[in-house]
Amino acid sequence: MNATLAETTEHAFRTLGGLRFSKGHGTGNDFVLVADPEGGHTIAPEQVAALCDRHRGIGGDGLIRAVPSRFLPEGRELLAAAPDAEWFMDYRNGDGSLSEMCGNGVRVFVHFLRAEGLVDLPDGGALTIGTRAGIKTVVRTGDDYAVDMGPWEFIFPGEATAKAMDSLVTADGLEVPRPALSVSMGNPHTVVALAELSELAGTRLYSAPVVDPVPANGTNVEFVVPAEPLVHEGVGSITMRVHERGVGETQSCGTGACAAAVAIRHWAGAEAPDTWRVHVPGGVVGVKFFAGPGGQEHVELSGPAAIVASGTLS
């Protein structure tokens, strides 16, 4: 007989007894955080799901394990090119599945390393970390953090360039499928523009939107309303909701905010600005485009991070 959800969760917690954890968030995108400086914790997908369960667990959109890069094959590969990437952000979605990247999670991860005394990062200082989407550099700016998210790219570049759309998205609350643009920020996103805030509020994200065609590894789906006017004093402004793969609707998505700014800027044309303010249910994040190494355009994500609780599993 199959174990019930309650039994599975109870067993997962029993096997993790004594584990120290913290709870943190970046604009409402929340995470369970575990420090593993000796590389000794193996947290199985079902244990991640139990910890992130909002009714029977601690609750979170995902779990972040802070582990030295040398303990992971992916981390050792990155260290060969970036020896200063001592720490690796081992991130999993709330259902236990691996994720390449989380923009809000990166900021919370660095804030957690500081809170645990694992790094010393003065105001204005930079920290290089490893992720499954490559090396990321995080700069502390007072109580906030700015992250070089690296280059963006269209997932279906031919269609994006020729038609400014590459897929159709069907979602509960929208009467007809909507055209969308697929953007990679190291993880996949599909961005839909809506005309009104009332339409955004009426879109129901209890279940995953249907994307056709869907990127190979699934996708996060952002629904975005441009401000009116779109640009004020040189800064673009948009409002966004997101359904994250493996999680559901979240209060914020950092890589999603970047992807949304990429798409809206593309649709707005050559005169669109390089600096954006993205309003999400959990707050506001900043997105900025700049020329990276080799002339490739990079995206910077900025915003707050907070640790709200710490404890030990019984």
Tens of pLDDT along the chain (314 residues) come to 356 666 766 777 778 888 999 999 999 999 999 999 999 998 999 999 999 999 999 999 999 999 999 999 999 999 999 999 999 999 999 999 999 899 999 999 999 999 999 999 999 999 999 999 999 999 999 989 999 999 999 999 999 999 999 999 999 999 999 999 999 999 999 999 999 999 999 999 999 999 999 999 899 999 999 999 999 999 999 999 999 999 999 999 999 999 999 999 999 999 999 999 999 999 999 999 999 888 899 999 999 999 999 999 98
What confidence score (pLDDT) does residue 3 get?
65
Active site residue 102: yes
* Residue 269 DSSP code: -
Query: CA-to-CA distance for 216 and 266, rounded, in angstroms?
Result: 23
pLDDT, tens digit (0-9, with 9 covering 90-100), for 105-114: 999 999 999 9
pLDDT at 5: 63
* 258 part of the active site: no
Q: How far apart are CA 238 and CA 284, in angstroms?
A: 10
Neighbouring residues of 156: CB distance < 8 A, sequence distance ≥ 6: 166, 167, 182, 213
Give pTM, 2 decimals.
0.92
Angle between helices 103-115 and 254-268 (to 10 degrees): 140
Give the up-direction half-sphere exposure of residue 2: CA atoms within 13 A in the CB hemisphere: 2
pLDDT of res. 294: 81
**C-alpha–C-alpha distance, residues 311 and 24, integer Å:** 12
User: For residues 59 and 48, what is the distance between their CA atoms, to the nearest angstrom?
Assistant: 10
pLDDT at 293 (0 to 100): 84
Which residue of the set 16, 51, 221, 253 is catalytic? 253
Please give the biggest Cα pair distance in the chain. 63
pLDDT given at position 1: 39
Q: Choose the catalytic residue: 102, 110, 147, 242.
A: 102
**Given this model, what pLDDT does residue 153 score?**
96
